[in-house]
Structure 1
Amino acid sequence: MPLPTLDPADPLGLESLLADEVRAVRDTVRRYLDDHVEPHIADWFEAGELPTLPELARELGRIGLLGMHLDGYGCAGMSALAYGVACRELEATDSGLRSFVSVQGSLAMYAIHRFGSEEQKQQWLPAMAAGEAIGCFGLTEPDHGSDPAAMATRARREGSDWVLDGRKMWITNGSVAAVAVVWARTEEGVRGFVVPTGTPGFSAPEIRHKLSLRASVTSELVLDGVRLPDSARLPHADGVGAPLTCLNEARYGIVWGVTGAARSAWRTAAGYAAQREQFGRPVAGFQLTQQKLVDMALELHKATMTALRLADLKDSPEGVHPAQISFGKLNNVREALEICRTARTVLGANGISLEYPVIRHMVNLESVLTYEGTSEMHTLALGQALTGLPAFR
């Protein structure tokens, strides 16, 4: 009996596990990115801009990626697996693109979808799903990142209105957003507010001089006496658990997304090693290079299997536990970053050139390692889940 075929790019045949509908999503996203983004992304990264973002948002909305895992209000209502695979393809092009889609769909839109009033959903979600309105999510502050319960932003009542004062930091989409979901402390605890960015007292200066996520809009949110009616409050968001629930949605996208960056780096390294000759033969023929390629492939496919398992759990009636999301975020980002670093060494000096995607993925993942839960915080969350003892309080 002849041996079955083995695809070097997919040695475990994981792509065969995807249903036809999910493969169609994968292929649609990949074609769009190859045609419209890949030719430009290195230049955008080098320039530190995403110049076509409004048009790009509308195109991503047109192919159904914005809020694609949500039901109704113009959203595609697709499975967690389909959403994860889309995130993988986006981040295989650039982490900034996946960050945009994650913040739009899994943070801003999800917050309104899960915790908002029917009026808020009708007002914002269809336009956001179409990419006609961009959203952002204001939780992190200059002095409060890993401990959002200690946030300094305040919302106080004045008659029937709310008045918000505070600062948010490292906010993706902030300066291009039409709406911001902002979290603030009140006398009753943490509450969320839907803030049209044209409201007096709201501003979003863009953060410059980044060396990571350069093809992404990152901003500070400044709220100086922002007055809102009570109808701007998310009526079903009660306590800090609400924004943390949103973060779990976005972290799931990261679990998948970083496998795309790692895949891109691995394929680039394997292709380069097969062509680059030293000492009269391709460097792929040397044992040390093969060890690097094998180790990268092992970790990439283990990370993909982790993502597939979390998709199964998320699509199941029981759902997925936050500690399981921490498991995936901690493992997959850490291993994807190591894959990119190793791929850089395979390319030698060419590894630092934007002619290849590896260095761009590598420095982008330095941000992904930190945002939406540092590796330290996910380690402690898992430690508490495994031992029953909290080590961070």
Structure 2
Amino acid sequence: MPLGSLLARPPPPAGGGTVTAPLGATVERRSFLRATAVGGTAAALGGTLWRGAAHAAPAQPGTGPYGPLGAADAQGIALPAGFTSRVVARSGRTVTGTSYTWHNAPDGGACYADGPGWIYVSNSEINPSGGASALKFSATGAITGAYRILSGTRQNCAGGKTPWNTWLSCEEVDRGYVFETDPWGAKAAVRRDAMGRFKHEAAAADPVRGVIYLTEDVSDGCFYRFRPGTWGDLSSGTLEVLIGGSGTSGPVSWARVPDPSGATATRNQVSGAKRFNGGEGCHYADGTCWFTTKGDNRVWQYDASAQTIELAYDDSLVTGGSAPLTGVDNVTGSSSGDLFVAEDGGTMEICVITPDDVVAPFLRVSGQSASEITGPAFSPDGTRLYFSSQRGTSGSSSGGITYEVKGPFRT
């Protein structure tokens, strides 16, 4: 079945096991022009898209749109008024209502509409035997299934959702690969060699320009884009690297990476490739790709139309007090234009950066200082936020906890 058919076909039954049907197809760009408000989620969410003038300067601390955090709840999560949390899965334990054991070290994730319900996909950042799993929810939020969608891979960290409803799971190892997977678990995952071999972190699809943006998690890493020969088919195409000076703003360009196989490190193949200190999360919406770098606690924004970059946040540029956001990592967005940035370390918070350039804590996980927050993703209707504490209270990969937060998110 073509990849594009995933958009229209009835969802297959959940299940684990080995599947053999390959992924591959073409889809038309026009189907996705408004499908990116929440990490590529379908446009049924509604709400305003990201404003072109938003995030025009590095964000500064202020009062967030949801107000102050309350006391930690029974799960140890401090939330604003009106929000509640629950645990939906724990590493090494059977997912409630299923026979499936949740994976260790849960990391990057995304949500997919599944009829009246939805699916949350989560990577496993262990090496070897990383891969990815999925949780299936009914329209009421009840868990109805859990299953494996990728096996036999290494240290699957972040990744990204495609507009044709597949999950790109990225290996964060030297000369790592990108694997295209089926969130329904009905089709075999496919290794996408043309997307390059390097220490992959996250991916974000730009359906207007027909490219996939990619981050690289090394201290002198680069920012890439993959231009498939046919949009919707990632089996072949051109890998490009961002070219620019040493500044934090201004015009940039792209150049082809001669050898995506990484026999020579991809980041060292093109003269003038711009360096980024530890690329992490990546999120595209309405003409802008946002990506984070953990080595310098920055959130960058790439204006795809103007081909310019600038800073949306830099903890060293915060004035009038301490920075509320440190250890920047995974990032996602809501239909209101808010960015939600998870911390690796810091104070174990997910912080919100508004289109008005205000940064403030949205939630805080207590008692888990040896962990990191991973995989933030919104349900298709925008009312639930999923994320994981990768190592939970134990500080080990077997202690991961995956959460759901429900409440009045802005639309």
TM range (shorter): under 0.3
- The alignment's TM-score, normalised by the length of structure 2, stands at 0.26
**More helix as a share of residues:** 1
Tell me which protein shows more strand as a share of its residues. Answer: 2
Q: Please say which structure displays the higher CA radius of gyration.
A: 1
